[in-house]
């Protein structure tokens, strides 16, 4: 039972970390695209 709880906790941690990492990555990509888009005007 302990192994099951550890695996479940690890899975939840990985999912939460992946979601946060994905949102941060999307935010970074959005800022990069925005910067590249406005680069010719700077």
Residue spans per domain, the chain? 2-41
Task: State residue 1's pLDDT score.
Answer: 65
- CA dist 11 and 36 (Å) reads 37
Over pLDDT 90: what percentage of the chain? Answer: 17
pLDDT the model gives residue 40: 59
pLDDT lower than 70: segments of the chain:
1, 38-42
pLDDT, residue 14, reads: 92
- pLDDT attached to residue 10: 93
Q: Which of 1-40 are b and which e, b meaning 16 or more Cβ less than 10 Å from the residue's Cβ? A: eeeeeeeeeeeeeeeeeeeeeeeeeeeeeeeeeeeeeeee
């Amino acid at each position: 039972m302990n192994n099951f709880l550890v695996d479940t906790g690890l899975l939840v941690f990985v999912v939460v970390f992946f979601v946060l990492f994905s949102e941060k990555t999307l935010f970074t990509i959005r800022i990069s695209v925005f910067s590249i888009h406005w680069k010719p005007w700077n």
